[in-house]
Structure 1
Amino acid sequence: MTTKNITVFEAFAGIGAQMEAMNNLMRNDDLLKQLGLVKEKVKFVNVGTSEWFIDAIISYDALHHGVQTTFPKYEKLSNKVMLKFLLKYTLSKDSKTPCSKQEIKKLSFEKIRQIYIAIKRNKNFGSIVDIKPENLPQSDIFTYSFPCQNLSTIGKGEGLEVGTKSGLLWEIQRILYGLKLLKRLPKFLVMENVKALFSKKHISGWNKFASFLESLGYKNTTMVLNAKNFGTPQNRERAFCISELNGTDEIIVESKGSHTNIHDFLDLNNDDLIEEYKAAMPNNTPSRIKWIEKSKHLNDMTHCMTITTKTDRFPNPGMFFSDINGKLVDNVSNDWNINGDKAPFRFLTPREQLQLMAFKSNAYDVLKNIGMSKTKIQLMAGNSIVVSKLEAIFTSILKRIVSKKIKVKKDILKAVNNTEYFVQLSNVA
């Protein structure tokens, strides 16, 4: 029996929430049986990513491909060869501005090797602005979670204007138009962004893009999904759009019902994690005390607020009243000096932030072990997508594939860095 490989391309890949979700689905025997699929005969296959943020590229590789020492000829890689390869890419150290060639050249050999291997193993095509449609592999699912800075209520609200970070959406338009001309449009598209994308202020820009998708033959299903309805105790609403080529009706995404209590979901009083708790406690300063009035008190709540890229600001996901070791206390007397020089509360730890994005607890250990700092992990967690919501979305796509009995055809696909033979879903409804 032929294996069904559902090929996926991740634009704005980040740390790979999409691939995390798909891998989880492939381990869900009960779901596959429910859909009438045999575990060994169906799998999601990553055929490419697009990402320019160096830390996210390296983190994606670590989370999904493991240690880099297994890379072929690891000890014999040439700095000259690797540098020549990297200088073809537009890369960024801060996810905001591109690195100059001189900045890349000044990196240590170890860092150059780390980035080189990550790009290779991630099948990374680089920045979205540099991608040429004719160079992209055929994919069945194309995901795009473009930047939200100019849409978020925290930002200046420039919207989808060309030249802004959020305006990178129009690069997706350029790529899809090119794939249309090549007759290689993906069967499904999956978009994610902040809820404000569908607001009165920004909806006209989105509608313009949605109309473009319709002109290509896509049927769009738009929705706002909250993480707390998908088994994750985080009040995080995000806009999604699933587009099906030649689709005729909307795609239904089923929630998992009521959310899990944050006190059951997280390991909040683990002696082995005390150092992590303590590191999440700010100094006891007047400015930090002000956060107490503004922030949600998670001791008494079943869920946190939206995970952000930085906790020590407002809005933030909330705070826990805690003792000097970061363990939870009631502090009914409102004594803001119970911990001396440290504040009477702690924020969520980076490990907890990743867990609340539905990554596994050891994801934090993986990133810490490759040298990612607490602030970088927080940044990448806040910019990621809740994995359990993506699981529900990909499940709905799997159901659509099964219900329509989409035929498979044998294709030969040359991947970016190695040659592989896949069986791909054909683009017929």
Structure 2
Amino acid sequence: MDKENKDNHTLRVFEAFAGIGAQASALDRMGINYKIVGISEWFIDAIECYAAIHCDNVEVEMPTDIQTIDEYLSKFTFSATSVKPTNIKRLTEDQRRDLYRANKQANNFGSITDIKGADLPEIDLLVYSFPCQDLSTGGLGKGMKKGSGTRSGLLWEIERILTELKDLDHLPEYLLLENVKTIKADKHIKDLNQWLDFLESMGYANTKCMILNSLDFGVPQDRERAFIISHLGDSLDVVNKIEAEKRERKFKIRKFIKSNYKNPIYKLEADIAQLNKTPSRDVMWDINGKTISNHMIVRTITCNMDRTHTAALFKYNGPKGDTYRRLTMREAFLLMGFTEKEYVKASSLNFSYRKLNKLIGNSIVVNVLQAIFEAMFGDTYMKKEAEED
């Protein structure tokens, strides 16, 4: 599709392994015509958080009887843990109603293993941030080998879906892969190259595997992630454009760290993030202790910030005495590039600190995605209102 047609067209996006929708947040800031035509997610908490952040204005007609809700939900594979399937009948009626509403709002197609190419609408951009656990240095290193049955091996479900879409002549024009930087480590490079060879056989041209750090995109979090852009046909000249988006590593830390405890909301959030003072937490402090300043950066935010190596610890005098606190969830969302408004929407679910921590730790820094999308699309897909201005 040429640029003139794209300017009058809506970029149709499908988020595989959607999580809480960092891609949607990035696209929303660009001022382009885009539509999330569907997502794929099986983790119940992620589905509900995605809907709360991105779909709160989507009305859903709720059935009055629980049987209709159960019949709908039974068509999907859901997980309450993100590890193994959950029998929805083990959820309370209220939980099933909440899941029904969120699944409808987010237009969730369900687990990637259950999706068929024929099920999907027309897609221009497919983003796939498949599970990193078996590639991460914090995991067991089981890898993503085709047929391995590992969580990271779910990548190959995308191979199946793309093959089915090609048979239907419906291949997306653009693909975006995101994962941990160890995807290109020696023990995984053979599998990565096999994946890239497959994409080339389908007609895609791939960029190099780019390792991008959120520190270079306006966020004081040392978080490196791998990204590969694929384009159907000729390769996209985007790598240099993304490099040009990098900024000087100077930060206004008060935009991210909320230590004004005179604000009762920030004080309550800090109280929730406080840790008991134990010998193991003293060790954590020695490794991760921070003094709040504009020169401060935090380590990579993980899905559990009560580990020996955590993102950051601060001295804090709260309900548990004079001890330490982790990042608050508001701070963690901001350090992942989400807005305060998006955090407030997520917090409306009243999830525990641990639940929100798992969700945000598995997300992608929005600023980095925005730089990638701007390099990919520039001023194409612009909204007519923006053109008139």
Change (3 A) 1:208 1:343: farther
Decide which moves more: 357-366 or 50-59.
357-366
Asked if residue 184 in structure 1 is aligned to residue 164 in structure 2, the reply is no
Cα deviation for residue 299 of structure 1 reads: 3.0
Asked if residue 66 in structure 1 is aligned to residue 56 in structure 2, the reply is yes
Provide the residue aligned with 1:293 in structure 2. 286
Unmatched tracts of structure 1, length 5 or more: 27-41, 326-338, 406-429
Amino acid of the residue matched to residue 319 of structure 1?
L
Provide the residue aligned with 1:85 in structure 2. 72
2:260 aligned to which of 244, 269, 283: 269
| Contact 2:213 2:223 (C-alpha < 8 Å) held by counterparts | yes
Q: 2:97 & 2:27 partners in 1: Cα distance?
A: 28
Cα deviation for residue 344 of structure 1 reads: 2.7
Q: 1:293 & 1:87 partners in 2: Cα distance?
A: 49
Q: 2:55 & 2:204 partners in 1: Cα distance?
A: 33
Q: 1:83 & 1:343 partners in 2: Cα distance?
A: 49
| Contact 2:165 2:171 (C-alpha < 8 Å) held by counterparts | yes
Decide which moves more: 110-119 or 205-214.
110-119
Change (3 A) 1:352 1:159: same
Post-superposition Cα deviations, 1:209-247, rounded to whole Å, max 9, x if no partner, equal 011111111111120110011111111000000001102
Q: Name the SS for the 1:126 alignment partner.
A: coil
Cα deviation for residue 98 of structure 1 reads: 0.6
Amino acid of the residue matched to residue 310 of structure 1?
N
Asked if residue 244 in structure 1 is aligned to residue 231 in structure 2, the reply is yes
Amino acid of the residue matched to residue 24 of structure 1?
R
Provide the residue aligned with 1:50 in structure 2. 40
Asked if residue 17 in structure 1 is aligned to residue 22 in structure 2, the reply is yes
1:317 aligned to which of 311, 314, 319: 311
Amino acid of the residue matched to residue 93 of structure 2?
F
Change (3 A) 1:394 1:85: same
Q: 1:288 & 1:356 partners in 2: Cα distance?
A: 23
Q: 1:198 & 1:357 partners in 2: Cα distance?
A: 23
What pairs with 1:1-400 in structure 2 (closer than 5 Å)? 3-26=8-31, 42-66=32-56, 70-72=59-61, 74=62, 76-100=63-87, 104-161=88-145, 162-221=148-207, 222-252=209-239, 253=242, 254-261=244-251, 263-266=253-256, 267-272=258-263, 273-299=266-292, 301-322=295-316, 324-325=317-318, 341-342=320-321, 344-399=323-378
Decide which moves more: 143-152 or 153-162.
153-162
TM-score (norm 1): 0.81
Tell me which structure has the larger Cα radius of gyration.
Answer: 1
Change (3 A) 1:121 1:249: closer
Q: 1:319 & 1:195 partners in 2: Cα distance?
A: 25
| Contact 1:188 1:242 (C-alpha < 8 Å) held by counterparts | yes
Post-superposition Cα deviations, 1:31-56, rounded to whole Å, max 9, x if no partner, equal xxxxxxxxxxx511111100000000
Cα deviation for residue 154 of structure 1 reads: 0.7
Cα deviation for residue 262 of structure 1 reads: 5.7
Cα deviation for residue 260 of structure 1 reads: 4.3
Q: 1:309 & 1:87 partners in 2: Cα distance?
A: 29
Q: Name the SS for the 1:318 alignment partner.
A: coil
| Contact 2:277 2:324 (C-alpha < 8 Å) held by counterparts | no
| Contact 1:282 1:343 (C-alpha < 8 Å) held by counterparts | no
| Contact 2:284 2:309 (C-alpha < 8 Å) held by counterparts | no
Q: 2:49 & 2:29 partners in 1: Cα distance?
A: 18
Q: Name the SS for the 1:344 alignment partner.
A: strand
Q: Name the SS for the 2:29 alignment partner.
A: helix
Cα deviation for residue 393 of structure 1 reads: 1.0
Decide which moves more: 203-212 or 367-376.
367-376
Provide the residue aligned with 1:409 in structure 2. none
| Contact 2:39 2:107 (C-alpha < 8 Å) held by counterparts | yes
Q: Name the SS for the 1:313 alignment partner.
A: coil
Q: 1:306 & 1:260 partners in 2: Cα distance?
A: 18
TM-score (norm 2): 0.89
Amino acid of the residue matched to residue 288 of structure 1?
R
| Contact 1:299 1:321 (C-alpha < 8 Å) held by counterparts | no
Provide the residue aligned with 1:418 in structure 2. none
Amino acid of the residue matched to residue 380 of structure 1?
L
Q: Name the SS for the 2:179 alignment partner.
A: strand
Cα deviation for residue 342 of structure 1 reads: 3.6
Q: 1:305 & 1:265 partners in 2: Cα distance?
A: 17
Cα deviation for residue 400 of structure 1 reads: 8.5
Unmatched tracts of structure 2, length 5 or more: 383-389
Q: Number of aligned residue pairs: give it.
A: 367
Post-superposition Cα deviations, 1:174-195, rounded to whole Å, max 9, x if no partner, equal 1111111111110000010001
Q: 2:322 & 2:84 partners in 1: Cα distance?
A: 35
Q: 1:288 & 1:92 partners in 2: Cα distance?
A: 32
Change (3 A) 1:106 1:185: same
User: What is the root-mean-square deviation of aligned Cα atoms in Å?
Assistant: 2.0
Question: How much identity, in percent, do the aligned residues show?
Answer: 40
Q: 1:133 & 1:18 partners in 2: Cα distance?
A: 21
